[in-house]
Amino acid sequence: MIKTIIAVALILALGGATVHFYMQSSSKDVQLAALQQNSRELEDLRAEHVELVKLRTQAEQTQVATQSVSELAKLRGQVSSLTEQTKKLNQQNQQLVQQKEQLNSQLQQQAQGAAVQQQNMAQQQNVVEALEYRNFCINNLRLIDSAKQQWALENKKTAADTPAWLDLQPYLGRGPQGAIPTCPMGGTYNVGRVQDAPTCSIAGHHL
């Protein structure tokens, strides 16, 4: 009877141990399966992380490229604006050159006109002076002729007689001795005979 009880107790103990071992084994299998699942999920997360890194890198590269394109377009716009400004400046410079040439031409024409006008005025002045000198000389010749006629009348001279300057000085009416007139242009007077008009060596100076 005791042996039977011992045998039953051993069987029960062995069964409990078997059940305990089986339960522990099942728990380890569950943990192992969970670990494998976690490992797969971790690999998936790693793959997703790598893909995200690639996408992020591509996005950054795309952003840099877009920014470069934008800056390039901006630079092209600035170059185009500078080109247009340079073109306008060249046109303005050309207009200024043309205006300068026109102004120089006008100034040259005005200078030529002024030179011609000055020359004409000088010629006119010379003509006026020549006329004044001529008239002055003719008045001298009249004075000489008048003095010659008075000399001939008072001294009972004939028309063929020719007086000297000393004979005419008292009748010239320029002081007691009478000043002998001179031509303003340096001509030489010839008293001549009573019947002849006095003359001057300058052409055009005559009575």
Tally of domains within the chain:
1
- Asked, for residue 66, whether it belongs to a domain, the answer is no
Residue 84 covered by a domain: no
Could you tell me if residue 144 is inside a domain?
Answer: yes
Distances (CA, A) of 9 to 12, 22, 175: 5, 20, 195
CA pair distance 166, 180, nearest whole angstrom: 9
Q: Is residue 175 a part of any domain in this protein?
A: yes
User: How far apart are alpha carbons 166 and 153 in whole angstroms?
Assistant: 16
Q: What is the pLDDT of residues 140-182, one digit of tens each?
A: 999 999 999 999 999 999 999 999 999 999 888 755 566 889 9
Establish if 107 belongs to a structural domain: no
183 lies in some domain: yes
Question: How far, in Å, CA of 39 to CA of 31, rounded?
Answer: 12
Domain hosting 140: range is 134-200
Q: Percent of the chain beyond pLDDT 70? A: 90
Q: What is the pTM of this model?
A: 0.47
Q: CA-to-CA distance for 117 and 197, rounded, in angstroms?
A: 40
More confident of the two residues 153 and 74:
153
Alpha carbon distance 60, 71 (integer Å): 16
Does a structural domain hold residue 16?
Answer: no
Q: Is residue 148 part of a domain?
A: yes
